[in-house]
Amino acid sequence: MDLSAINPIILIAALISAATPILLAATGELVAERAGVLNLGVEGMMITGAVSGFIISVNTGSPAIGFAMAAVGGATLSLLFAFLTQVALANQVASGLALTLFGLGISSLMGQNYVGIKPPRMPDVDFGPLSDIPVLGQILFSHDPIVYVGLFIVAGVWTTLKFTRAGLILRAVGENHDAAHALGYKVKRIRTLAIMFGGACAGMGGAYISLIRVPQWTEGMTAGVGWIALALVVFASWKPWRVLLGAYLFGGITQLQLNLQGAGIAIPVEYLAMSPYIVTIVVLVILSADKSRAPGSLGRIFHASQ
Protein backbone atom coordinates (compact mmCIF):
# COMPACT_ATOMS: atom_id res chain seq x y z
CA MET A 1 0.00 0.00 0.00
CA ASP A 2 1.33 3.38 -0.92
CA LEU A 3 -0.99 6.23 -0.03
CA SER A 4 1.63 8.79 -0.93
CA ALA A 5 0.85 8.04 -4.56
CA ILE A 6 -2.51 9.78 -4.07
CA ASN A 7 -2.36 13.51 -4.43
CA PRO A 8 -5.35 14.95 -2.51
CA ILE A 9 -5.31 18.17 -4.51
CA ILE A 10 -5.55 16.38 -7.83
CA LEU A 11 -8.17 14.09 -6.29
CA ILE A 12 -10.43 16.98 -5.29
CA ALA A 13 -9.91 18.73 -8.61
CA ALA A 14 -10.78 15.48 -10.39
CA LEU A 15 -13.93 14.90 -8.34
CA ILE A 16 -15.27 18.34 -9.22
CA SER A 17 -14.84 17.53 -12.88
CA ALA A 18 -16.17 13.96 -12.55
CA ALA A 19 -19.30 15.17 -10.75
CA THR A 20 -20.22 17.80 -13.34
CA PRO A 21 -22.26 15.61 -15.74
CA ILE A 22 -24.40 14.21 -12.91
CA LEU A 23 -24.73 17.64 -11.37
CA LEU A 24 -25.97 19.26 -14.57
CA ALA A 25 -28.42 16.49 -15.41
CA ALA A 26 -29.77 16.25 -11.85
CA THR A 27 -30.26 20.01 -11.54
CA GLY A 28 -32.22 20.09 -14.78
CA GLU A 29 -34.37 17.16 -13.68
CA LEU A 30 -34.92 18.85 -10.33
CA VAL A 31 -36.50 21.85 -12.03
CA ALA A 32 -38.76 19.61 -14.12
CA GLU A 33 -39.82 17.63 -11.06
CA ARG A 34 -40.45 20.75 -9.00
CA ALA A 35 -42.85 21.71 -11.78
CA GLY A 36 -44.58 18.35 -11.31
CA VAL A 37 -43.10 16.48 -14.27
CA LEU A 38 -41.31 13.17 -13.84
CA ASN A 39 -39.07 12.80 -16.87
CA LEU A 40 -37.33 9.43 -16.93
CA GLY A 41 -35.72 10.36 -20.24
CA VAL A 42 -32.62 11.95 -18.67
CA GLU A 43 -30.30 9.26 -20.04
CA GLY A 44 -31.71 9.73 -23.54
CA MET A 45 -31.39 13.50 -23.41
CA MET A 46 -27.83 13.23 -22.08
CA ILE A 47 -26.64 10.94 -24.83
CA THR A 48 -28.35 13.09 -27.46
CA GLY A 49 -26.58 16.12 -26.01
CA ALA A 50 -23.33 14.17 -25.98
CA VAL A 51 -23.54 13.35 -29.67
CA SER A 52 -24.89 16.70 -30.87
CA GLY A 53 -22.29 18.61 -28.88
CA PHE A 54 -19.59 16.35 -30.26
CA ILE A 55 -20.68 16.69 -33.89
CA ILE A 56 -20.99 20.47 -33.69
CA SER A 57 -17.65 20.88 -31.90
CA VAL A 58 -15.82 18.74 -34.42
CA ASN A 59 -17.36 20.59 -37.36
CA THR A 60 -17.02 24.12 -36.00
CA GLY A 61 -13.82 23.56 -34.03
CA SER A 62 -15.41 25.32 -31.08
CA PRO A 63 -16.29 23.39 -27.91
CA ALA A 64 -18.29 26.39 -26.66
CA ILE A 65 -20.64 26.25 -29.63
CA GLY A 66 -20.71 22.49 -29.14
CA PHE A 67 -21.97 22.86 -25.58
CA ALA A 68 -24.56 25.41 -26.65
CA MET A 69 -25.84 23.05 -29.33
CA ALA A 70 -25.77 20.13 -26.90
CA ALA A 71 -28.16 22.13 -24.73
CA VAL A 72 -30.32 22.84 -27.79
CA GLY A 73 -30.19 19.15 -28.76
CA GLY A 74 -31.24 17.99 -25.30
CA ALA A 75 -34.01 20.59 -25.15
CA THR A 76 -35.26 19.62 -28.62
CA LEU A 77 -35.50 15.98 -27.66
CA SER A 78 -37.29 16.93 -24.45
CA LEU A 79 -39.89 18.76 -26.57
CA LEU A 80 -40.95 15.36 -27.78
CA PHE A 81 -41.58 14.36 -24.19
CA ALA A 82 -43.38 17.65 -23.57
CA PHE A 83 -45.63 17.01 -26.55
CA LEU A 84 -46.44 13.48 -25.42
CA THR A 85 -47.15 14.33 -21.80
CA GLN A 86 -48.51 17.88 -21.96
CA VAL A 87 -50.44 17.86 -25.22
CA ALA A 88 -51.24 14.19 -25.85
CA LEU A 89 -51.57 13.60 -22.07
CA ALA A 90 -49.60 10.37 -22.24
CA ASN A 91 -48.30 8.60 -19.15
CA GLN A 92 -45.09 10.28 -17.96
CA VAL A 93 -43.26 7.16 -16.89
CA ALA A 94 -43.82 5.38 -20.18
CA SER A 95 -43.04 8.50 -22.21
CA GLY A 96 -39.82 9.06 -20.28
CA LEU A 97 -38.64 5.50 -20.81
CA ALA A 98 -39.49 5.80 -24.49
CA LEU A 99 -37.48 9.01 -24.64
CA THR A 100 -34.42 7.23 -23.25
CA LEU A 101 -34.70 4.43 -25.78
CA PHE A 102 -35.25 6.89 -28.60
CA GLY A 103 -32.33 9.05 -27.49
CA LEU A 104 -29.97 6.06 -27.35
CA GLY A 105 -31.04 5.00 -30.82
CA ILE A 106 -30.93 8.35 -32.55
CA SER A 107 -27.59 9.22 -30.98
CA SER A 108 -25.92 6.10 -32.31
CA LEU A 109 -27.38 6.84 -35.72
CA MET A 110 -26.14 10.44 -35.65
CA GLY A 111 -22.72 9.51 -34.32
CA GLN A 112 -21.87 6.76 -36.81
CA ASN A 113 -19.27 8.79 -38.68
CA TYR A 114 -17.73 10.27 -35.55
CA VAL A 115 -16.25 7.21 -33.87
CA GLY A 116 -12.53 7.57 -33.27
CA ILE A 117 -12.37 11.31 -33.93
CA LYS A 118 -10.71 13.58 -31.42
CA PRO A 119 -12.79 16.65 -30.52
CA PRO A 120 -11.27 20.13 -30.09
CA ARG A 121 -10.13 20.72 -26.56
CA MET A 122 -11.85 23.25 -24.33
CA PRO A 123 -9.20 25.36 -22.58
CA ASP A 124 -9.41 25.89 -18.82
CA VAL A 125 -10.62 29.26 -17.60
CA ASP A 126 -7.73 31.64 -17.09
CA PHE A 127 -7.97 33.12 -13.60
CA GLY A 128 -4.55 34.73 -13.84
CA PRO A 129 -2.78 34.90 -10.47
CA LEU A 130 -5.69 33.19 -8.67
CA SER A 131 -4.74 29.80 -10.04
CA ASP A 132 -1.25 30.20 -8.60
CA ILE A 133 -2.53 30.18 -5.03
CA PRO A 134 -1.19 27.02 -3.45
CA VAL A 135 -3.74 24.21 -2.97
CA LEU A 136 -6.87 26.35 -3.46
CA GLY A 137 -5.73 27.57 -6.85
CA GLN A 138 -5.50 24.08 -8.25
CA ILE A 139 -8.71 22.92 -6.60
CA LEU A 140 -10.93 25.89 -7.41
CA PHE A 141 -9.36 27.80 -10.27
CA SER A 142 -8.05 25.20 -12.67
CA HIS A 143 -11.18 23.99 -14.41
CA ASP A 144 -12.88 24.26 -17.74
CA PRO A 145 -15.73 26.80 -17.99
CA ILE A 146 -18.50 24.19 -17.84
CA VAL A 147 -17.63 23.30 -14.24
CA TYR A 148 -18.36 26.90 -13.28
CA VAL A 149 -21.43 27.01 -15.49
CA GLY A 150 -22.70 23.97 -13.57
CA LEU A 151 -22.18 25.66 -10.21
CA PHE A 152 -23.75 28.83 -11.53
CA ILE A 153 -26.82 26.88 -12.66
CA VAL A 154 -27.22 25.27 -9.23
CA ALA A 155 -26.98 28.67 -7.54
CA GLY A 156 -29.34 30.17 -10.09
CA VAL A 157 -31.93 27.42 -9.68
CA TRP A 158 -31.79 27.73 -5.91
CA THR A 159 -32.20 31.51 -5.99
CA THR A 160 -34.97 31.38 -8.54
CA LEU A 161 -36.95 28.70 -6.74
CA LYS A 162 -36.57 30.27 -3.33
CA PHE A 163 -36.67 34.02 -3.87
CA THR A 164 -38.40 34.88 -7.10
CA ARG A 165 -41.98 35.07 -8.23
CA ALA A 166 -41.20 32.84 -11.19
CA GLY A 167 -39.86 30.20 -8.81
CA LEU A 168 -42.95 30.46 -6.63
CA ILE A 169 -45.21 29.96 -9.64
CA LEU A 170 -43.16 26.96 -10.79
CA ARG A 171 -43.41 25.38 -7.36
CA ALA A 172 -47.15 26.14 -7.21
CA VAL A 173 -47.64 24.30 -10.50
CA GLY A 174 -45.69 21.36 -9.14
CA GLU A 175 -47.44 21.25 -5.77
CA ASN A 176 -51.03 21.59 -6.93
CA HIS A 177 -51.67 22.12 -10.60
CA ASP A 178 -55.42 22.56 -10.17
CA ALA A 179 -54.96 25.41 -7.74
CA ALA A 180 -52.31 27.01 -9.92
CA HIS A 181 -54.62 26.71 -12.89
CA ALA A 182 -57.47 28.28 -10.91
CA LEU A 183 -55.19 31.22 -10.16
CA GLY A 184 -54.71 31.70 -13.87
CA TYR A 185 -51.25 30.25 -14.39
CA LYS A 186 -50.54 28.44 -17.65
CA VAL A 187 -49.73 25.03 -16.23
CA LYS A 188 -48.79 23.41 -19.53
CA ARG A 189 -46.65 26.27 -20.71
CA ILE A 190 -44.74 26.43 -17.44
CA ARG A 191 -44.23 22.68 -17.42
CA THR A 192 -43.05 22.66 -21.03
CA LEU A 193 -40.47 25.31 -20.21
CA ALA A 194 -39.33 23.33 -17.17
CA ILE A 195 -39.02 20.18 -19.29
CA MET A 196 -36.94 22.06 -21.87
CA PHE A 197 -34.69 23.44 -19.16
CA GLY A 198 -34.19 19.90 -17.89
CA GLY A 199 -33.39 18.74 -21.43
CA ALA A 200 -30.87 21.53 -21.95
CA CYS A 201 -29.06 20.77 -18.70
CA ALA A 202 -29.02 17.02 -19.42
CA GLY A 203 -27.69 17.72 -22.92
CA MET A 204 -24.83 19.79 -21.53
CA GLY A 205 -24.10 17.10 -18.97
CA GLY A 206 -23.86 14.55 -21.75
CA ALA A 207 -21.59 16.79 -23.81
CA TYR A 208 -19.33 17.17 -20.80
CA ILE A 209 -18.69 13.43 -21.01
CA SER A 210 -18.08 13.32 -24.77
CA LEU A 211 -16.10 16.58 -25.03
CA ILE A 212 -14.14 16.86 -21.80
CA ARG A 213 -14.19 13.81 -19.61
CA VAL A 214 -13.49 11.06 -22.09
CA PRO A 215 -13.11 12.92 -24.78
CA GLN A 216 -14.45 10.92 -27.73
CA TRP A 217 -17.74 9.67 -29.10
CA THR A 218 -18.73 6.08 -28.37
CA GLU A 219 -22.23 4.67 -28.64
CA GLY A 220 -24.02 4.45 -25.32
CA MET A 221 -21.18 6.28 -23.62
CA THR A 222 -23.27 7.86 -20.86
CA ALA A 223 -23.64 4.29 -19.55
CA GLY A 224 -26.31 4.96 -16.94
CA VAL A 225 -25.28 8.38 -15.58
CA GLY A 226 -28.77 9.68 -16.33
CA TRP A 227 -30.32 7.10 -14.01
CA ILE A 228 -27.95 8.05 -11.23
CA ALA A 229 -28.93 11.69 -11.72
CA LEU A 230 -32.61 10.74 -11.46
CA ALA A 231 -32.04 8.86 -8.22
CA LEU A 232 -29.99 11.72 -6.88
CA VAL A 233 -32.89 14.17 -7.26
CA VAL A 234 -35.08 11.98 -5.06
CA PHE A 235 -32.42 11.36 -2.43
CA ALA A 236 -31.63 15.08 -2.39
CA SER A 237 -35.28 15.79 -1.49
CA TRP A 238 -35.65 18.06 -4.56
CA LYS A 239 -33.25 20.65 -3.07
CA PRO A 240 -30.52 22.15 -5.31
CA TRP A 241 -27.70 22.32 -2.76
CA ARG A 242 -28.28 18.75 -1.72
CA VAL A 243 -28.06 17.76 -5.38
CA LEU A 244 -24.68 19.49 -5.45
CA LEU A 245 -23.60 17.72 -2.28
CA GLY A 246 -24.82 14.37 -3.59
CA ALA A 247 -23.11 14.80 -6.96
CA TYR A 248 -19.81 15.76 -5.34
CA LEU A 249 -20.06 12.93 -2.85
CA PHE A 250 -20.77 10.43 -5.59
CA GLY A 251 -18.09 11.79 -7.91
CA GLY A 252 -15.63 12.17 -5.06
CA ILE A 253 -15.98 8.69 -3.67
CA THR A 254 -15.84 7.21 -7.17
CA GLN A 255 -12.53 8.99 -7.71
CA LEU A 256 -11.29 8.11 -4.25
CA GLN A 257 -12.03 4.42 -4.66
CA LEU A 258 -10.19 4.32 -8.01
CA ASN A 259 -7.23 6.04 -6.35
CA LEU A 260 -7.26 3.66 -3.41
CA GLN A 261 -7.34 0.70 -5.77
CA GLY A 262 -4.40 2.09 -7.69
CA ALA A 263 -2.50 2.63 -4.45
CA GLY A 264 -3.21 -0.99 -3.52
CA ILE A 265 -4.96 -0.30 -0.21
CA ALA A 266 -6.06 -3.36 1.74
CA ILE A 267 -9.81 -2.75 1.58
CA PRO A 268 -11.51 -5.40 -0.58
CA VAL A 269 -12.22 -3.96 -4.00
CA GLU A 270 -15.89 -4.97 -3.99
CA TYR A 271 -16.54 -2.71 -0.99
CA LEU A 272 -14.67 0.12 -2.66
CA ALA A 273 -16.69 -0.35 -5.84
CA MET A 274 -20.03 -0.12 -4.05
CA SER A 275 -19.00 2.69 -1.71
CA PRO A 276 -20.03 5.67 -3.90
CA TYR A 277 -23.61 4.45 -4.04
CA ILE A 278 -23.87 3.54 -0.38
CA VAL A 279 -22.25 6.67 1.04
CA THR A 280 -24.28 8.98 -1.18
CA ILE A 281 -27.56 7.29 -0.29
CA VAL A 282 -26.82 7.14 3.45
CA VAL A 283 -25.80 10.80 3.68
CA LEU A 284 -28.75 12.08 1.69
CA VAL A 285 -31.24 9.86 3.50
CA ILE A 286 -30.00 11.17 6.85
CA LEU A 287 -30.32 14.73 5.57
CA SER A 288 -33.86 14.09 4.35
CA ALA A 289 -35.00 13.28 7.89
CA ASP A 290 -36.54 16.76 7.92
CA LYS A 291 -40.05 17.10 6.56
CA SER A 292 -39.15 17.41 2.90
CA ARG A 293 -41.32 15.49 0.46
CA ALA A 294 -42.01 15.15 -3.23
CA PRO A 295 -43.89 17.91 -5.09
CA GLY A 296 -47.63 17.23 -4.67
CA SER A 297 -48.48 16.92 -8.35
CA LEU A 298 -45.34 15.00 -9.37
CA GLY A 299 -46.07 12.64 -12.23
CA ARG A 300 -49.76 13.53 -12.46
CA ILE A 301 -51.32 14.49 -15.76
CA PHE A 302 -52.95 17.88 -15.93
CA HIS A 303 -55.97 18.70 -18.00
CA ALA A 304 -57.93 21.91 -17.50
CA SER A 305 -61.28 20.12 -17.61
CA GLN A 306 -60.59 17.90 -14.61
Partner 1 sequence: MPLDGANTYGEVHMKFTKLMTGAALALGLATAAVAEDKTKVGFVFVGPVGDGGWTYEHNKGRLAVEESFGDKVETVFVESVAEGPDSERVMTEMALNGADLIFTTSFGYMDPTINVAAKFPNVKFEHATGYKQADNVSVYSARFYEGRAIQGHIAGKMTKSNIIGYIASFPIPEVIRGINSAYIHAKKVNPDVEFKIIWAYTWFDPAKEADAAKVLIEQGADVVLQHTDSTAPQAAAQDAGNVITFGQASDMGQYGPLPRVSSIIDDWAPYYIARTQAVMDGTWTSTSTWDGIGAGMVGIGEISDAVPADVKAEALALKASLADGSYHAFTGPLNKADGSAWLAAGETANDGDLAGMGFYVEGITAEIPK
- Interface contacts to partner 1, rule CB under 8 A: 5-7, 10, 14, 18, 21, 108, 111-112, 115-118, 209, 213-216, 218-225, 254-255, 258-259, 261-264, 266, 268-270, 273
State how far the Cα of 171 lies from the Cα of 72, in Å rounded to an integer.
24
State how far the Cα of 31 lies from the Cα of 51, in Å rounded to an integer.
23
State how far the Cα of 71 lies from the Cα of 211, in Å rounded to an integer.
13
List C-alpha distances in Å: 156 to 20, 53, 148, 204, 240: 16, 23, 12, 16, 9
Q: How far is the CB of 225 from partner 1 (least distance, A)?
A: 7
Output 117 or 179, the one with its CB closest to partner 1: 117
Output 23 or 32, the one with its CB closest to partner 1: 23
Output 126 or 270, the one with its CB closest to partner 1: 270
Q: How far is the CB of 220 from partner 1 (least distance, A)?
A: 5
Number of Cβ atoms within 10 Å of the Cβ of 278 = 11
Output 7 or 91, the one with its CB closest to partner 1: 7
State how far the Cα of 245 lies from the Cα of 251, in Å rounded to an integer.
10
Q: Which of 256, 289, 298 is nearest to 30 (CA)?
A: 298
Output 150 or 174, the one with its CB closest to partner 1: 150
Q: How far is the CB of 244 from partner 1 (least distance, A)?
A: 19
Q: How far is the CB of 117 from partner 1 (least distance, A)?
A: 8
Q: How far is the CB of 246 from partner 1 (least distance, A)?
A: 17
